[in-house]
Structure formats: structure tokens, C-alpha cells
């Protein structure tokens, strides 16, 4: 007796409102009995989206028990770890416990494989039985629990040549460096806002690789210490200390290091609100801005560019692009300094 075949996108588990996809849904069915085209995962670690975890930590005043309470509350209410304030999720690591019979021959997964889901927690059916440990500094939470991967759900099998927490921390932001690799052309001037953060460092690495010796990569950070720490890694050509919520200040700072020419590509990796305008003013009039930050406001970006008469192209960061896991994991193999820093900070 099976449950039958569900929708590849998971609409069969949406409880409220009916007819929508699992991500925008208010509440989804997190019963841990799989449909024939689903994968059951024994969850080990949640890597909560940085904007979401920052909000939860703030709401909890940093108190671990309160953090647990908030996280369990979200999952009880919604059937998924979909932060109602930030709208964002994160991803998870776990082991394949069961594969629906309809996926045989369609998936390369085997029971027992260790994998990271590359779809957001904001659409993944999840049950948390217990929160075992919280690693506040790296947005990771170890749990006992289970989750469901839909047929369309993307994932990466954890590579055997690096520790799994390292792989997880990289895969969580895999879209950013992969998109950077596609956007940056030789000779480009590239600004990475929040370049000292996790996704920021990976973007700097890819930007420098693609812009090459004729390009210029500029790392923007708002804490002098953080910039000093990252300088020895050699990921950028210039380091700029600026608060990216101060649009005019950021513009002046970027003007200084580009002889007034500004950036061809601006990559925004800071998970704080009100950095849209700074990103726009840091770019050339015909520049391209890639918003990877989940704190980005659509209207602030759209009206901001119009308000200053800028002809910039502004892209909504898509966490997925073909080969993004391979591109991001490869950085850990290519760059000793980055691997060491990621091991020290996130793994």
C-alpha cells in the first residue's frame, strides 16, 4: 500500500492556501510517510539562512533555549522551517533513509548516501524531534528529525575529499559564486559588498579568477578588523571600509579606488536591509547589480535606480544555477587559504 505519486514540485503536500506551491504556502503537510516520488531524509544539521538566523537570534536576545523555542514553533506552525519574518529558509544535511519506488532509475541516490539539499528549507517538509546543538556563530543547528525531498528538489551528495560541515557551509551559498563566475568578464571592475562574509569570500575568489589581471576586484566591508583579517587571503585588489547602508558614503569610497569610473558589476552579499541604493550608486550607469542578499527590497531597488536616473541592470539572486555545487566545492579544492579559513570559521 503506497501513497501514490505526488506532484514533482510538491503541491500535493500544501495544506494552506490550496493550489499554491510549497514555498509560498502558509502550511504544508510534514507527515513523514513518503509518496512514491519522494525521498525521506534522516536530518543531521540545519544550515539556517543567515538573514533568518540573525532575526531569530535577535528575537531570542541570543538565548539558546529561546532560539530552540522559536525554531520549533516555526516548524510546528508551518510544517517547514520557513521564517515568517524574513521569508527565507536555509538548507540541511542528512542521510537518505528511503527512496520512493517511482524514482528508481531516475535518481542516482542510494539509501545511506549523505547529502545536502540545495532547495530551501522554506519549502521542505520537516519534523524536528529534538534540537541537539546550536552553533550560533555559523548559523548551524544539529537536530534529530526527518525531512522530505520532492522529485524536482536539487541536492548534492557530500564529497568524500572534504569534511561534511565544510561542504555544507559552502553548498549553502553555492549560487553566489556560480552566478559570479557567469557574470564577470575579463577586465571588469567588480565590487563585492560584504566581501568578508561567507558568500562574499567565494564571490571575491570567482570574481578575481574571471576578471583576471586586467580586472579589478574591490572588497567592501563595514568593520575595519574584518577587512584586516581578510587581506592576507589575497582575494581582492582593493579593500574599502564603508557602511553600505550609507549610499552616498559607499559611492564616494568606490569612486576613490576606481578613479571615478565605478564598477561594471556589483555583487551584494550583505544580509542587512537598505543597501540597495549603495549598490546602485557603486555601479556604472550601465552596470550590472546582482542582489544575493535576502534582505533586498524589490521596490527599494526598482525605485532607487529610477530615482537617480540610472540605467543599471539589477538581477534577483537565484540560489540555483546549473553546476553551482560543483563550482562552489571546487573553490575549496583550488584555494588553500580559503579552505583553511572556511574550516576555521564554519566547519
| Per-residue exposure over 163-193, b if at least 16 CB sit within 10 Å of its own CB, e if not | ebbbbbbbbbbbbbbbbbbbbbeeebbbbbb
Lookup result for grid cell 516520488 = 37
Q: Contact between 157 and a second copy (CB under 8 A)?
A: no
Total residues interacting with a second copy, rule: CB under 8 A: 59
Q: Among 26, 54, 321, 330, which residue sits at the site for a second copy (rule: CB under 8 A)?
A: 321
Instruction: Tell me how far apart the alpha carbons of residues 116 and 43 are, in angstroms, rounded to a whole number.
Output: 10
H/E stretch holding 307 reads: helix 298-307
Q: Contact between 103 and a second copy (CB under 8 A)?
A: no
Stretch in the footprint of a second copy (CB under 8 A) among 14-22, 198-206, 232-240, 262-270: 14-22
Q: Which is nearer to a second copy, 4 or 24 (CB)?
A: 24
Q: Which x/- pattern, by CB under 8 A, does the window 300-319 give for a second copy? A: xxxxxxxxxxxxxxxxxxxx
Q: Contact between 35 and a second copy (CB under 8 A)?
A: no
Nearest Cα residue to 196 out of 176, 172, 224, 162: 224
The least CB distance from residue 195 to a second copy, in Å, is 20
* Those residues with Cβ within 8 angstroms of residue 88's Cβ, 6 or more apart along the chain or in another chain: 49, 51, 52, 82, 120, 122, 294
Q: Which is nearer to a second copy, 94 or 175 (CB)?
A: 175
Stretch in the footprint of a second copy (CB under 8 A) among 21-29, 92-100, 128-136, 198-206: 21-29
Q: Are 212 and 179 in contact (CB under 8 A)?
A: no
Q: Which is nearer to a second copy, 20 or 132 (CB)?
A: 20
Q: Among 5, 32, 95, 320, which residue sits at the site for a second copy (rule: CB under 8 A)?
A: 320
Q: Among 5, 7, 70, 337, which residue sits at the site for a second copy (rule: CB under 8 A)?
A: 7
Q: Which is nearer to a second copy, 10 or 100 (CB)?
A: 10
Lookup result for grid cell 529534538 = 130
Q: Contact between 85 and a second copy (CB under 8 A)?
A: no
* Those residues with Cβ within 8 angstroms of residue 211's Cβ, 6 or more apart along the chain or in another chain: 184, 185, 186, 187, 188, 189, 190, 217
**How many of the other CB atoms lie within 10 Å of CB of 58?**
10
**How many of the other CB atoms lie within 10 Å of CB of 136?**
14
Residues that bind a second copy (CB under 8 A): 7, 9, 11, 19-24, 86-89, 118-120, 122-123, 152-154, 175, 245-249, 274, 276-277, 291, 294, 296-322
Amino acid at each position: 500500500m503506497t501513497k501514490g505519486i505526488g506532484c514533482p514540485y510538491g503541491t500535493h503536500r500544501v495544506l494552506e492556501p490550496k493550489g499554491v506551491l510549497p514555498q509560498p504556502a502558509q502550511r504544508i503537510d510534514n507527515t513523514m510517510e513518503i509518496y512514491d516520488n519522494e525521498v525521506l531524509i534522516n536530518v543531521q544539521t540545519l544550515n539556517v539562512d543567515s538573514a533568518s538566523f540573525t532575526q531569530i537570534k535577535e528575537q531570542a536576545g541570543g538565548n539558546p533555549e529561546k532560539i530552540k523555542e522559536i525554531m520549533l514553533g516555526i516548524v510546528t506552525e508551518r510544517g517547514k522551517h520557513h521564517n515568517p519574518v524574513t521569508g527565507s529558509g536555509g538548507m540541511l544535511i542528512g542521510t537518505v533513509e528511503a527512496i520512493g519506488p517511482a524514482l528508481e532509475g531516475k535518481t542516482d541516490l542510494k539509501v545511506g548516501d549523505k547529502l545536502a539539499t540545495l532547495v530551501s528549507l522554506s519549502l521542505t517538509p520537516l519534523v524536528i524531534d529534538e534540537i541537539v546543538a546550536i552553533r550560533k556563530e555559523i548559523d548551524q543547528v544539529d537536530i534529530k528529525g526527518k525531512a522530505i525531498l520532492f522529485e524536482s528538489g536539487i541536492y548534492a551528495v557530500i564529497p568524500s575529499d572534504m569534511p561534511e560541515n565544510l561542504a555544507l557551509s559552502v553548498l549553502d551559498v553555492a549560487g553566489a559564486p556560480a552566478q559570479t563566475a557567469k557574470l564577470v568578464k575579463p577586465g571588469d571592475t567588480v565590487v563585492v559588498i560584504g566581501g568578508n562574509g561567507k558568500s562574499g569570500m567565494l564571490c571575491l575568489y570567482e570574481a578575481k579568477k574571471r576578471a583576471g589581471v586586467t580586472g579589478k576586484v574591490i572588497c567592501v566591508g563595514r568593520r575595519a578588523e574584518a577587512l584586516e583579517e581578510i587581506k592576507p587571503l589575497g582575494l581582492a585588489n582593493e579593500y574599502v571600509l564603508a557602511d553600505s547602508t550609507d549610499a552616498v558614503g559607499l559611492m564616494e569610497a568606490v569612486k576613490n579606488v576606481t578613479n571615478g569610473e565605478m564598477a561594471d558589476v556589483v555583487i551584494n552579499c550583505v544580509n542587512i536591509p537598505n543597501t540597495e541604493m549603495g549598490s546602485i550608486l557603486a555601479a556604472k550607469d550601465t552596470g550590472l547589480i546582482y542582489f544575493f542578499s535576502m534582505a533586498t527590497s524589490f521596490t527599494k531597488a526598482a525605485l532607487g535606480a529610477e530615482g537617480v536616473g540610472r540605467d543599471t541592470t539589477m538581477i534577483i539572486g537565484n540560489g540555483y544555477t546549473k553546476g553551482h555545487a560543483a563550482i562552489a566545492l571546487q573553490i575549496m579544492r583550488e584555494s588553500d587559504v580559503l579552505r583553511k579559513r572556511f574550516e576555521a570559521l564554519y566547519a
